[in-house]
């Protein structure tokens, strides 16, 4: 047993869902979703075997063991000037341009250079957030993804903005450069997304089968077939341009799942350019006949994914607002470099 793991033992009573029971036992610091992720990860066992189904109900009392990672000490939240652009602000919220290479909030392995540290320096007031180390945070972007984010300054704004994200009424537009050519110039891609079964840092996307009139099934029917450890995920993309084994896309997210765009296009065979987690660069370079010079340009560009537009209803005025940033210069520089046929 690693030193950073706590082992708890419980007796699971019959007729009670596993996730409900553990939510009661572990207290308020463990949300239902966190409990379910813990179960999916294989951290709950009986007789040495993992119990990975959150809805499990036993017929007889059963002894279970739960491996809980020991919580690291909370990062000290000291303001730090990170110099990010502020697109708009009023008494309720702020809209910012998050730079690439910055983690949104503190966690394991982060320091005092997260976006939260920068928010504390930039704004006098921030909403409490979902946790003590996440003031103002309503939604997230991956570390290497840059783009538009909305920040809540008070509890009312945080609650109303969070509800819009949960109800999927927020308009989220991304720009991305991906490897290869897409089979269709524009398409809605829907399916399921879950934690990768072998590589726990990654997500795994699986597209729904094509629906036909002969099948007499609808996507609503497919949603009832989603495994318990998966969630529905959908987006729409449109090809803006193609050049030298790369495609430039505009993407609209219908759902907002962890790594959704990255996992979806990796599953389609078109990983986001510069995404080292979801794309084997050497294999892709060989597959698409991409030489060293263009790979060097891609390294300079880094991951080519940006959240370029965010639209929502203002929590105080109830009026629709939308904010858009220019396409990153590093995208243009890499794209222009693809014109040359030389490696």
- Residues acting as catalytic residues: 142
CA nearest neighbour of 17 among 44, 48, 47: 44
Distance of CA 184 to the CA centre of its chain: 25
CA 72, 78, 84, 88 torsion: positive or negative?
positive
Confirm if 138 and 115 have CB atoms less than 8 A apart: no
Tokens 């008070």, residue located = 154
- Between strands 62-69 and 44-46, the pairing is antiparallel
Helix (H) or strand (E) holding 117: helix 115-122
Partners of 186 in the β-ladder: 238
Rounded to 10 degrees, the C-alpha dihedral 268/271/277/280 comes to 100
Helix (H, G, I), strand (E, B) or coil at 21: helix
CA nearest neighbour of 148 among 171, 166, 169: 171
- Burial call 256-271: b when 16+ CB within 10 Å, e when fewer: ebebbbbbbbbbbebb
Cβ neighbour number for residue 146 with a 10 Å cutoff: 24
- DSSP annotation of 91: S
- Between strands 171-179 and 305-313, the pairing is antiparallel
């Amino acid at each position: 047993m690693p030193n950073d793991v706590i082992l708890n033992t419980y007796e699971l009573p019959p007729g009670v869902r596993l996730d409900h029971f553990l939510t009661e036992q572990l207290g308020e610091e463990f949300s239902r979703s966190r409990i379910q992720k813990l179960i999916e990860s294989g951290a709950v066992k009986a007789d040495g075997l993992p119990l990975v189904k959150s809805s499990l109900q036993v017929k007889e009392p059963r002894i279970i063991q739960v491996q809980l990672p020991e919580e690291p000490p909370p990062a000290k939240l000291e303001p730090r000037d990170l110099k990010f652009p502020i697109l708009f602000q009023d008494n309720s919220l702020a809209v910012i341009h998050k730079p690439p290479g910055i983690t949104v909030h503190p966690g394991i392995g982060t320091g005092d250079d997260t976006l939260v540290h920068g928010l504390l320096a930039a704004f006098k007031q921030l909403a409490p957030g979902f946790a003590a180390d996440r003031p103002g945070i309503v939604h997230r972007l991956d570390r290497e993804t840059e783009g538009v984010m909305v920040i809540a300054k008070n509890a009312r704004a945080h609650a109303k903005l969070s509800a819009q994200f949960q109800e999927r009424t927020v308009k989220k537009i991304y720009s991305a450069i991906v490897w290869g050519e897409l089979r269709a110039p524009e398409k809605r891609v829907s399916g399921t997304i879950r934690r990768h079964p072998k590589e726990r840092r990654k997500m795994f996307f699986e597209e729904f089968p094509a629906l036909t009139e002969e099948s007499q099934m609808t996507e609503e029917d497919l949603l009832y077939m989603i495994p318990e450890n998966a969630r529905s995920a959908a987006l729409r993309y449109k090809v803006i341009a193609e050049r030298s084994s790369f495609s430039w896309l505009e993407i609209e997210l219908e759902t907002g799942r962890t790594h959704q765009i990255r996992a979806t296009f990796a599953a389609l065979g078109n990983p986001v350019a510069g995404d080292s987690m979801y794309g084997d660069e050497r294999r892709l370079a060989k597959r698409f006949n991409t030489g060293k010079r263009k790979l060097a340009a891609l390294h300079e560009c880094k991951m080519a994914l940006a959240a370029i537009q965010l639209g929502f209803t203002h929590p105080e005025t109830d009026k629709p607002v939308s904010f858009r940033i220019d396409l990153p210069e590093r995208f243009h520089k890499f794209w222009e470099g693809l014109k040359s046929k030389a490696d």
